[in-house]
Amino acid sequence: MPLDTALNSLGFAKPASETRVVVAMSGGVDSSVVAAQLKEEGYDVVGVTLQLYDHGAALAKKGACCAGRDIHDARRVAESMGFPHYVLDYENTFREAVIDEFADSYLAGATPVPCIRCNERVKFKDLLATAKDLDADCMATGHYIRREMGPTRAELHSAADANRDQSYFLFSTTQEQLDYLRFPLGGLASKDETRALAARYGLSVADKPDSQDICFVPNGNYAAVIEKLRPGAAEPGEIVHADGRVLGAHRGLIHYTVGQRRGLGIGGLDEPLYVVKLDVDARRVVVGPKEMLATRRVPLREINWLGEGGFADQAEREVLVRVRSTRPPAPAVIRPINATKAEVELLSPEQGVSPGQACVFYETEGTRVLGGGWIWKGH
């Protein structure tokens, strides 16, 4: 083939018809549009949907992905656009890699983010391996994030639409995975554009509501799921002020998170109190004034570095970090301890920084995602 062959829209020097792409289809509008768009462009599209839990039990549940209804929707899109579609049973893998850790993290007083673990351990690991087994040139998803070619390699960048950006949930994507992945929606200006494309392709999911809950947590009731997974987990204990005063009783640590104010059942006090710590060993919920939530130093582990050079090559790095998915990136300094651990110093204190959440790194100028790590209690 001539060296000057133009690259197709997925970055390969061959015709779209000779480029096979596996599309991870959740049954929602985003991944459906990706599959339809690539099929229209002439690619050899193969749709794959993962059955992640007992979809019979979840068939009527709204606001979550990968349930029975969603598998049906993905299949309908594939049929209407004329490409093959497969459903893979990943229920055991999903439970072991995501759900069990979710439950255990809550029991340990953390606030986990299972969607990150699902991307890391299921979608971008096992499903990606399946795509390679199918001889696909790449795998595409409906995530709102951008993959751009830098001077030496593929880079991860936040989405053009800041309101839809999913970079927080994809920080653990490795360089090897990034080389193989494609994110066609990352450059769209808004979700309205995605829905307009769905309507243009005549997709049945064009008006389907977005997923809101974690897929295996109906109605956002984390505690009910954990009690089902870990019977006896909701052991009662004391609610204690940081100064040592016992203020009341709680019905199980799994019902509380750091930063929580409402629903503590300790009204009638002069000052508003917040959960500042969950003492797992003593089964105590520790509360205090809002200023006790302010944190400047954040210990991290399981670092995934996507920047230049080795993570520990520099004593410190100035970056922007996001310590919760709902917060904007803020200035910070990373000080590596080794290749997978670091301490982050926030230049302005943040409230409610909680073990189990992610801390994601961004360039100080521009949109590049440099990786991130998991917040933990430290030594």
The domain segmentation of the chain, as residue ranges, is 16-201, 234-288, 295-375
Least confident of 157-166, 191-200, 267-276, 313-322: 267-276
**Has domain 234-288 been given CATH number 3.40.50.620?**
no
Over residues 253-276, the mean pLDDT reads: 86
> Residues marked as binding?
24-31, 50, 142
Give residue 379's pLDDT band: very low, low, confident or very high (50, 70, 90).
low
* Catalytic (active-site) positions: 118, 215
pLDDT of residue 212: 67
- 301: which 2 tokens? 């582990």
Question: How high is the pLDDT of residue 352?
Answer: 80
- Write out the two tokens for 195: 């829905």
pLDDT at 232: 77
d(C-alpha 354, C-alpha 374), whole Å: 10
Rank 52-66, 76-90, 210-224, 365-379 by mean pLDDT and report only the highest.
Answer: 76-90
* Closest by Cα among 191, 222, 224, 214 to 67: 214
Query: What per-residue confidence (pLDDT) applies to 378?
Result: 67
- Alpha carbon 251 to its chain centroid, in Å, reads 29
Contacts of 7 (CB under 8 A, 6+ apart): 13
Q: What is the pLDDT of residue 274?
A: 93
Alpha-carbon distance values, 319 to 105, 193, 331, 359, 363 (Å)? 28, 31, 6, 11, 5
Confidence of residue 52 (pLDDT cuts 50, 70, 90): confident
Looking at residue 58, what is its pLDDT? 40
**Do residues 87 and 256 make contact, with C-beta atoms less than 8 angstroms apart?**
no
55: pLDDT strictly greater than 70: no
Look at residue 231 in the predicted model and tell me its pLDDT.
83
pLDDT at 20: 98
| 235-244 per-position pLDDT tens digit | 899 999 999 9
DSSP string, 87-112: EEE-HHHHIIIIIHHHHHHHHTT---
Domains 234-288 and 295-375 share a fold: no
pTM for this entry: 0.90
pLDDT tens per residue across span 302-340: 999 999 999 999 999 999 999 999 889 999 999 999 999
Helix (H, G, I), strand (E, B) or coil at 31: helix
Question: CA 314 to CA 102: how far, in whole Å?
Answer: 33
* Burial status of residue 228 (CB atoms within 10 A of its CB: 0-12, 13-18, 19 or more): exposed
Q: How far is CA 26 from the centre of its chain?
A: 14
- Please tell me the predicted confidence (pLDDT) of residue 271: 84
Binding residues for ATP: 24-31, 50, 142
The CATH superfamily holding the domain 16-201 is HUPs (3.40.50.620)
Listed ranges 190-199, 207-216, 218-227; the one with the highest mean pLDDT = 190-199
Scan for tokens 């984390």, then name that residue: 222
Average pLDDT over residues 229-254: 90
pLDDT the model gives residue 237: 93
Domain spanning 295-375: CATH 3.30.420.40: no
- Confidence class for position 56, pLDDT limits 50, 70, 90: very low
